Structure 1
Amino acid sequence: MSLPPPVDYSARRLGFALLVAATVLGGIALMAATLAGNGFDVWDAAVTACFALTLPWTAVGFWNAVIGLALMRLAPAPPETNEQAPPTATIRSRTAILSCIRNEDTETVARNLDRMIAGLAATSESHRFEVWVLSDSTWPECIDAEEAFSARLQARWGHRVAVHYRRRSDNAGYKAGNIQDFVTRHGDGFDFALVLDADSLMAAQTIRRLVRAMESNPRLGILQTLVVGLPSVSAFARPFQFGMRLGMRSYTLGSAWWQGDCGPYWGHNALIRVAPFREHCELPLLPGRPPLGGHVLSHDQVEAVLMRRAGFEVRVLPFESGSFEENPPTLLEFIRRDLRWCQGNLQYLKLLGLPGLRALSRVQLGLAILMFLSSPAWVSLMVLGVLRLGLARDTGEVLDPALGSILFALIMTMVFAPKLAALADLLLSAAQRRAFGGATRVLAGVVTEVVFFTLLAPVMAIAHTVFMAGLPFGRAVVWGPQRRFGYRVSARDALRRLWPQTLLGLAAFLWLAASV
């Protein structure tokens, strides 16, 4: 089967860049005009500079959502996915399913693997797949449980889908090192590898679809679908589950339209082509000491840009298709995971100059850095704003209320654009409304989610800011096991981990109250 010529995305990317640039410059100009009623001084310049740092990521999300909504409503088909094989094509390749674990809850890992293997075993192509449990565990009780469930799975399914267990004694390179060790030692026996986290769950139909797509397009190096959250009993996790199902649709579709063959990689629930991954995607050891030196923590985007540098495509199938993960069950676990991502993304500062990267790859690394740098920018903006308002005799000395209201409305619209776009598409579709339980439930869910994330945003911004303030002094994240299931957070733990947010919020309240 001959492949169609590669799609030229240059016009789309140029148009998208112009939209984002115009939005950022317009936002900066509007902020400057809002503050310049009585002159533009050093305070105003500092506030505007902080505001400018927050805009690129916000503008990208806004235009992704707008384009995604337009595609959902107007396009006859989603963006190019290069799926050339029909859904009934016979699978002829060999795929290793890699379950990467370290001191995890083994019951959940075993249950999810059992469900995936059962789905594959029910097909005539099950012999094309093998499951490899790749352990970096150090706790004896976890190791014993892993060996036991791997043996049970092999005894139950080995005649259809072979199950192997391999444990490293040294978790050098963390998860990325675990995968590289596998492709180096065992990669010759496989064409593709499906990378899973401990909480991953994928439908057999989705796995086979990814494999067929990869078989039909030798240019594909990494392929994944939209990942959504599994149902959870945790009240904290449920807004994420709802938001991922609703808000990510328009965002991912719009992003895929212009990123195309230079898409992101989320590090799990994705299919990789083993040979080029082994040859080109081994991560460099960063110069210097941690936290910014040493092994790369946020490995996924780096592997994506290295795969693209090697000439292979990295794509996302921008729709929900049987690919799931667990969300952190508590705020403390969510913060802990986010700080690991924060440190990992800031390590990209040392990778922006890698030779041979595509221009878009450098932009993606830069945006990943800005995603977390925007947090201290927002916190600084808020602190400067509160101080300025507190020192002023009246609000009119600081800003133009009318322009300020317009600016606030525009920013809130941009921030929530992915949710609003997906909501608009859903309300216009009777089938989708029924799938979400009806319009009333959808609207109630959206209101709940907006309130939840409005409260969560400053908590996370302060957590990022405090963490980054400690980086020059050697503060670093330890990549330990995650607590993926609900537990009660003690008042002591909450106070110990959240005292900066509590203190800053109380100080801002008292300052403003005294100024009224």
Structure 2
Amino acid sequence: MIETATLIAPPPISARPDFAPATPPETPLPMPVQDLAAWDPARGHRPGRTHPRPLLARAFVFGAALALTVYGGVQMYETVSVSGSPTALQYVLVVLFLLTFSWIALAFASGVLGFLVLLGRPRLPAAPTRLSTRTAILMPVYNEGTARTFAAVEAMREAVDATGLGAHFDWFVLSDSTQADAWIAEERAFLDLRARLGDDARLYYRHRKKNHHRKAGNIGDFVTRWGGAYDHMLVLDADSLMTGDSLVRLAAAMEADPDAGIVQTLPLIINRNTLFARVQQFAARIYGPVIATGLSVWSGRDGNYWGHNAIIRTRAFAQSCGLPDLPGKPPFGGHVLSHDFVEAALIRRAGWAVYMLPTLEGSYEESPPSLIDVAVRDRRWAQGNLQHSRVIGAAGLHFASRQHFATGIAGYTASPLWLCQLVVGIALALQTAWIRPEYFSPDFGLYPVFPRFDPVRALQLFGLTMAILLAPKFLGLVLALRDAAVRRACGGAGRLVLSCLIEILVSALLAPTAMLIQSGSVVGILLGRDTGWNPQRRDDGSIPLRDIVRRHRWHTLLGLVSGVAAFAIATSLFLWMSPTILGLVLAIPISWASGQLGLGLALKARGLLVTPEERDPPAIALRAGLLSARNAAHALDAADPLEALHADPALAEAHVRMLPQAAPRPRGGIDTDQALAAAKLQEAETLDEAARWLTPRERLALLHDRDLLARLARLA
């Protein structure tokens, strides 16, 4: 057990001795840009031994998905063709149904496979007692809350040291922050933490002036500058948290498998308290392992990578994962946005294995607090996944890698396809209600032909769709009920079942609005609108009601119009669409409720939507929370960066030492922000004047310029 933190203030930076370098000596590792149009297998890694392929598992998953899709397609055809040959619009409905149904059929089959495997309760080998390799643990940050990220780094480092294997790990905070206050707060937190850790800190910090290629470029910069010194790198996200046991087990797994390129964990969501986040947290804990285990089994060593909480063989990554810029402009051209899928595909193309350890415990992350926050993140993911349509045909990719790309693309096209299916269904219902019957059909029947559906088959098909959609949730619930420890930690069987019903209800109410938001994102991307890259909100704060109303007013209006129109066409159509109509009409109150901390805590107090990690919090989470509170109390994130540098000459000196050597300015090349910052500093007589006059971009330019920093220090 890790000891409780003592909440004492760290010594001021100005009282410390001279600073050690913020980064270790560079050990460059070439990272050539890969050619997606050509691939020579002779360039790849040749595995040292033969590994079995999961052919039976793949046959089961894809065979079952295909059989279900064919059966569902036949039933849909029979449903719409009850009155004779289907019309063109009815054929469109059948095609749309096949596309959306195949997506949930594949998830169902994968979930069944995962359930069957987890019934056997697979066990991991014993924890290692020694390691022979070096691992760099990378924490990329981008305008994040410093108190939380450095608390996580400190807690994880302590946990690894407690295993007795800490000497095999070095820790890097890799900053891509573009806000001056975030940058200086990171430096203050880094210097404070390194001073507490002492001479054997093994903690490093680097800030990039230009966040070229986003996170992929951030990791690539580490590889090309320091990658040669490390056998492995373990990549985290700013909200990641991993136990010391899980970290050393990942390093041991890479040592034991010389053909492994990436080993991925299954992160569980923790520390979430709003209603929306608690629903996500509960679903990830109870249902997530079923889907992830099934995916892991049929993928085998041809798996995928989710960009964090995974360990990577550094030289294999450098040799095969240099990402090219895609031709054209964003959203489909430019740098690769969802880089993790592409890196997994390229390292697999080079002969290295990529697989998951879904039963490895101790890997955690957090999630956005509300529906709107998820929509912001999801917009970026949608663009990245649709961009994979430019990569899926790359030369030499393994079939499973192409399947991962296809699944990711389908995950975002499913919403607009579902919307189109809904629209076509309404059009057919309208046609059935108002179009006159055909009295003289080509078949010369004795009775007029009325365009209609088979209501019995339609109801059966709806039941089949719902069963397939909800089956993975039911299977996860069964596993949780079978596990006495999980069942008790979730409040007992009754509360566990009730929590699942609440999750299904909330998810069903949110689904129509999420469908429209995601459909709008996909349409915007197809129209050429680039999403950009905004930092993710990770707190539990609610969104102002006026912003919620502005975001969802059109969803509500569409729900009202759809409800009135459906009722006017036919009562049966209204009843069939009622779940969708209800979700849209209530979009504003549901979205507001999703971000409410009070609602989430009220359910938690009654033992609902509770996970085992809440009932018995991991020691690493408790430690990180305590350290985060201490860092917040020291106001590392609150100080104005210019005031902090001006008030502490030692901090200003450390900041200057951490700056990279400035490249010579080309003749005639003027940095406008730097020039304006210099002019304003020239006129400013006090620090307060300079702070008020400088724009955010000019502040950044100042912080990168040694001469301007010296001028800042001379202000009153």
**TM value normalised by structure 1:** 0.95
Structure 2 match to 1:115: 155
Structure 2 match to 1:27: 72
Q: Does 1:243 align with 2:289?
A: no
How many Å apart are 1:146 and its aligned residue?
A: 0.5
The whole-number CA distance in structure 2 between the counterparts of 1:239 and 1:497 is 21
- 1:141-186 deviation per Cα after TM superposition (whole angstroms, max 9, x unaligned): 0001101111122122254441111011111111011101101111
Structure 2 match to 1:425: 479
* Alignment equivalent of 2:167, drawn from 107, 123, 127: 127
Structure 1 range deviating more: 6-15 or 96-105: 6-15
In terms of fraction of residues, the more strand-rich structure is 1
Paired amino acid for 1:464: Q
The whole-number CA distance in structure 1 between the counterparts of 2:111 and 2:202 is 42
Structure 2 match to 1:49: 95
> Secondary structure, in 3 states, of the residue corresponding to 1:44?
helix
* Alignment equivalent of 1:347, drawn from 384, 387, 403: 387
- Does structure 2 retain, via aligned residues, the 8 Å contact 1:192–1:271? yes
How many Å apart are 1:419 and its aligned residue?
A: 1.1
* Alignment equivalent of 1:476, drawn from 506, 514, 530: 530
> Secondary structure, in 3 states, of the residue corresponding to 1:498?
helix
The whole-number CA distance in structure 1 between the counterparts of 2:464 and 2:225 is 53
Paired amino acid for 1:491: L
Paired amino acid for 1:47: L
Paired amino acid for 1:288: G
How does 1:18-167 map onto structure 2 within 5 Å? 18-39=63-84, 40-73=86-119, 75=120, 77=122, 86-167=126-207
Structure 1 range deviating more: 355-364 or 32-41: 32-41
How many Å apart are 1:360 and its aligned residue?
A: 1.4
The whole-number CA distance in structure 1 between the counterparts of 2:66 and 2:497 is 33
Paired amino acid for 1:13: R
The whole-number CA distance in structure 2 between the counterparts of 1:365 and 1:124 is 40
The whole-number CA distance in structure 2 between the counterparts of 1:157 and 1:447 is 47
User: In the superposition, relative to structure 1, how do residues 435 and 12 fare at CA in structure 2: closer, same or farther (>3 Å)?
Assistant: same
Q: Does 1:410 align with 2:464?
A: yes
- Does structure 1 retain, via aligned residues, the 8 Å contact 2:90–2:428? no
Paired amino acid for 1:257: V
How many Å apart are 1:124 and its aligned residue?
A: 2.0
- Does structure 2 retain, via aligned residues, the 8 Å contact 1:62–1:414? yes
* Alignment equivalent of 1:332, drawn from 372, 375, 384: 372
How does 1:264-413 map onto structure 2 within 5 Å? 264-319=304-359, 321-393=361-433, 397-413=451-467
- 1:207-266 deviation per Cα after TM superposition (whole angstroms, max 9, x unaligned): 011111111111111112211111212121000000000001111111111111011211
User: In the superposition, relative to structure 1, how do residues 310 and 76 fare at CA in structure 2: closer, same or farther (>3 Å)?
Assistant: same
Structure 1 match to 2:616: none
Count the aligned residue pairs. 509
> Secondary structure, in 3 states, of the residue corresponding to 1:332?
helix
- Does structure 2 retain, via aligned residues, the 8 Å contact 1:89–1:212? no
Paired amino acid for 1:28: G
How many Å apart are 1:394 and its aligned residue?
A: 8.8
> Secondary structure, in 3 states, of the residue corresponding to 1:392?
helix
Structure 2 match to 1:510: 564
Paired amino acid for 2:332: L
How many Å apart are 1:397 and its aligned residue?
A: 4.6
* Alignment equivalent of 1:462, drawn from 502, 510, 516: 516
The whole-number CA distance in structure 2 between the counterparts of 1:501 and 1:235 is 21
- 1:77-129 deviation per Cα after TM superposition (whole angstroms, max 9, x unaligned): 36xxxx7x742330121111111111111111112112111111223221111
Paired amino acid for 1:313: A
Structure 2 match to 1:261: 301
> Secondary structure, in 3 states, of the residue corresponding to 2:130?
coil
The whole-number CA distance in structure 1 between the counterparts of 2:434 and 2:200 is 75
Structure 1 range deviating more: 396-405 or 344-353: 396-405
Paired amino acid for 2:55: S
The whole-number CA distance in structure 1 between the counterparts of 2:512 and 2:201 is 47
- Does structure 2 retain, via aligned residues, the 8 Å contact 1:228–1:320? no
User: In the superposition, relative to structure 1, how do residues 244 and 459 fare at CA in structure 2: closer, same or farther (>3 Å)?
Assistant: same
Structure 2 match to 1:13: 58
How many Å apart are 1:457 and its aligned residue?
A: 1.8
User: In the superposition, relative to structure 1, how do residues 313 and 44 fare at CA in structure 2: closer, same or farther (>3 Å)?
Assistant: same
Paired amino acid for 1:238: R
> Secondary structure, in 3 states, of the residue corresponding to 1:393?
helix
The whole-number CA distance in structure 2 between the counterparts of 1:432 and 1:454 is 25
- Structure 2's unaligned 5+ residue stretches are 1-46, 436-449, 572-716
Structure 1 range deviating more: 96-105 or 27-36: 27-36
How many Å apart are 1:320 and its aligned residue?
A: 5.4
The whole-number CA distance in structure 1 between the counterparts of 2:513 and 2:142 is 28
Paired amino acid for 2:260: L
User: In the superposition, relative to structure 1, how do residues 11 and 232 fare at CA in structure 2: closer, same or farther (>3 Å)?
Assistant: closer
Q: Which has the larger radius of gyration?
A: 2
The whole-number CA distance in structure 2 between the counterparts of 1:156 and 1:167 is 21
The whole-number CA distance in structure 1 between the counterparts of 2:73 and 2:198 is 61
> Secondary structure, in 3 states, of the residue corresponding to 2:209?
coil
The whole-number CA distance in structure 2 between the counterparts of 1:398 and 1:154 is 73
The whole-number CA distance in structure 2 between the counterparts of 1:375 and 1:161 is 49
- Structure 1's unaligned 5+ residue stretches are none
How many Å apart are 1:388 and its aligned residue?
A: 2.4
Structure 1 range deviating more: 430-439 or 286-295: 430-439
How many Å apart are 1:3 and its aligned residue?
A: 8.0
* Alignment equivalent of 1:224, drawn from 264, 268, 287: 264
The whole-number CA distance in structure 1 between the counterparts of 2:457 and 2:360 is 40
How many Å apart are 1:269 and its aligned residue?
A: 0.8
The whole-number CA distance in structure 2 between the counterparts of 1:76 and 1:329 is 32
How many Å apart are 1:429 and its aligned residue?
A: 2.9
- Does structure 2 retain, via aligned residues, the 8 Å contact 1:176–1:299? yes
- Does structure 2 retain, via aligned residues, the 8 Å contact 1:117–1:161? no
The whole-number CA distance in structure 2 between the counterparts of 1:283 and 1:25 is 38
How does 1:157-196 map onto structure 2 within 5 Å? 157-196=197-236
> Secondary structure, in 3 states, of the residue corresponding to 1:390?
helix
The whole-number CA distance in structure 1 between the counterparts of 2:186 and 2:548 is 32
- Does structure 2 retain, via aligned residues, the 8 Å contact 1:280–1:310? yes
- Does structure 1 retain, via aligned residues, the 8 Å contact 2:96–2:421? yes
How many Å apart are 1:47 and its aligned residue?
A: 1.2
Q: Does 1:441 align with 2:495?
A: yes
Structure 1 range deviating more: 98-107 or 396-405: 396-405
- Does structure 2 retain, via aligned residues, the 8 Å contact 1:262–1:313? yes
The whole-number CA distance in structure 2 between the counterparts of 1:121 and 1:105 is 25
The whole-number CA distance in structure 2 between the counterparts of 1:5 and 1:164 is 39
The whole-number CA distance in structure 1 between the counterparts of 2:390 and 2:530 is 16
- Does structure 1 retain, via aligned residues, the 8 Å contact 2:48–2:259? no
- 1:351-402 deviation per Cα after TM superposition (whole angstroms, max 9, x unaligned): 0111110111111111111111111100011112123223432999542221
- Does structure 2 retain, via aligned residues, the 8 Å contact 1:91–1:212? yes
